[in-house]
Amino acid sequence: MTVVSNDSRFQPINLFEYEKLAKEHLSQMTLDYYSSGAWDEITLRDNRAAFERVKLRPRTLVDVSDRNLSTSILGQPLQLPLLIAPMAFQCLAHPDGEVATAIAAASAGVGMVLSTMATKSMEEVAAVGNKQNTLQWFQLYIHKDRGLTRALVERAYAAGYKALCLTVDAPVLGQRERDQRNEFALPPNLHLANLATISGLDISHETGESGLFTYFAQQLNPAVTWRDLEWLQSISPLPLILKGILRGDDAVRAVESGARAIIVSNHGGRQLDGAIASLDVLAEIVAAADGKAEVLLDGGIRRGTDILKALALGAKAVLIGRPVLWGLAVAGQVGVSHVISLLQDELNVAMALSGCAKLQDIDSSLLRFNQSLS
């Protein structure tokens, strides 16, 4: 697989090189929007550092000549334990945006979670997944306007999404100072496709700022509680996934509230700075879920060994975010496909070198911690 850089001799061979190369293809405003975290970006950095604190204890003299990376999430098969996290405004990286990402995900047999704040409509993206029966979930919030939430849910169900992924860690938007400094705004040719196509919304386009983005920010509802999950489930038969859980007691409440899966996530360090790294709380969440909900991890994945560590701590699969944007910026669908392929190859090698022929062989005995996880 070939990608293009300004230096024709340089081709990225890992996700870190994709990040470096993406800087050649993105404006400073877009690069900062994608890469920034909240306030001092402590949590953003710690998501990566958490993986570096965990060391591997490989098994030896195990027959790993035939390796199997496949799994299933909520009964739907995946070729490897990977989903693409919900990310806004992907058309800032490439004109094909979320559609290119969906094609790459479907081709690789991995899952995709589409953001409410996508720049391609949920119907366009779903059409890609439906052709190959791939795992696609729709991410949403419970907005102040329940009619808006209901409209999005009904459209997601009609389009063929397999689950609703409710983000629960954003009662208000986190403060990202790079975006404040840049006065981030969508260019005039882009909009929030899933809101723009809902009839009846009174949305003005204000000077220097996307009216749709302003409308979305105003619709975040800090009054949402666990009681509101019952209403959400009453308007759709789709399974409910909660994204943004960082405490064991919240995981218990999630299960009691009917969540079929939990995504351990701190929003990529973009919400509450100083929040615990996702990996550091994963074992606690897995124990609290007690097999009653599948647990996935989001945040900091950059290597196949990172996936191995997350699975060893009990995650059923992981989500990746920013590396997909780097691949998309560099080479569109080809770049995203290459990013997925790199992680697949690295996980394959990591499993072989750790004495694991299949995902079920991965357990916590493979790990040693430089710093206690709690």
Do residues 82 and 109 lie in contact, with contact meaning Cβ atoms separated by under 8 Å?
no
Please compute, for residue 316, the number of CA atoms within 13 A of its CA located in the half-sphere on the CB side. Answer: 24
Q: Is 174 annotated as a binding residue?
A: no
Give the CATH superfamily of 15-369: Aldolase class I (3.20.20.70)
What is the DSSP code string of 73-136? ETTEEESSSEEEPP-S-GGGT-TTHHHHHHHHHHHHT-EEEE-TT-SS-HHHHHHHHHHHT--E
267 is known as an active-site residue: yes
pLDDT for 199: 57
Per-residue pLDDT of 89-143, as tens digits, reads: 999 999 999 999 999 999 999 999 999 999 999 999 999 999 988 999 999 999 9
Q: Is 321 annotated as a binding residue?
A: yes
Tokens of 223: 């009054």
pLDDT for 3: 60
The SS3 of residue 204 is coil
58 — pLDDT class (breaks 50, 70, 90): very high
Give the residue extent of every domain in the chain. 15-369
**Number of other CB atoms surrounding residue 65 within 10 Å:** 7
pLDDT for 214: 75
- Mean pLDDT within 302-323: 98
CA 350 to chain centre: 22
pLDDT of residue 204 exceeding 60? no
Nearest to 189 by CA among 99, 321, 97: 97
pLDDT for 215: 77
Query: When comparing pLDDT for 4 and 284, which is higher?
Result: 284
Q: Is 243 annotated as a binding residue?
A: yes
209 — pLDDT class (breaks 50, 70, 90): very low
Please, which residues have CB within 8 angstroms of residue 228's CB and are 6 or more apart in sequence? 142
Bridging pattern class, strands 294-298 and 317-320 = parallel
Q: 8-17, 118-127, 318-327, 342-351: which range is least confident on average?
A: 8-17
Q: Which uninterrupted H or E stretch holds 165?
A: strand 163-167
pLDDT for 48: 98
- Mean pLDDT within 236-257: 98
Q: Is 129 annotated as a binding residue?
A: no
What is the DSSP code string of 287-341? HHHTTSSEEEEES---SHHHHHHHHHTT-SEEEE-HHHHHHHHHHHHHHHHHHHH
The SS3 of residue 262 is strand
pLDDT of residue 69 exceeding 50? yes
* Cα 213 to Cα 71, 84, 171, 193, 196, distances in angstroms: 37, 23, 16, 11, 11
- End-to-end Cα distance, the chain: 41
Q: Is 322 annotated as a binding residue?
A: yes
Per-residue pLDDT of 328-367, as tens digits, reads: 999 999 999 999 999 999 999 999 999 999 999 999 999 9
pLDDT of residue 11 exceeding 50? yes
User: For a pLDDT cut of 90, what percent of the chain falls above it?
Assistant: 86
**What is the Cα–Cα distance from 329 to 26, expressed in whole angstroms?**
7
Per-residue pLDDT of 145-161, as tens digits, reads: 999 999 999 999 999 99
Average pLDDT, the chain: 93
Coarse DSSP helix, strand, coil percentages of the chain, rounded to the nearest 5 percent: 45, 15, 40
Of 25, 94, 143, 267, catalytic: 267
pLDDT of residue 77 exceeding 90? yes
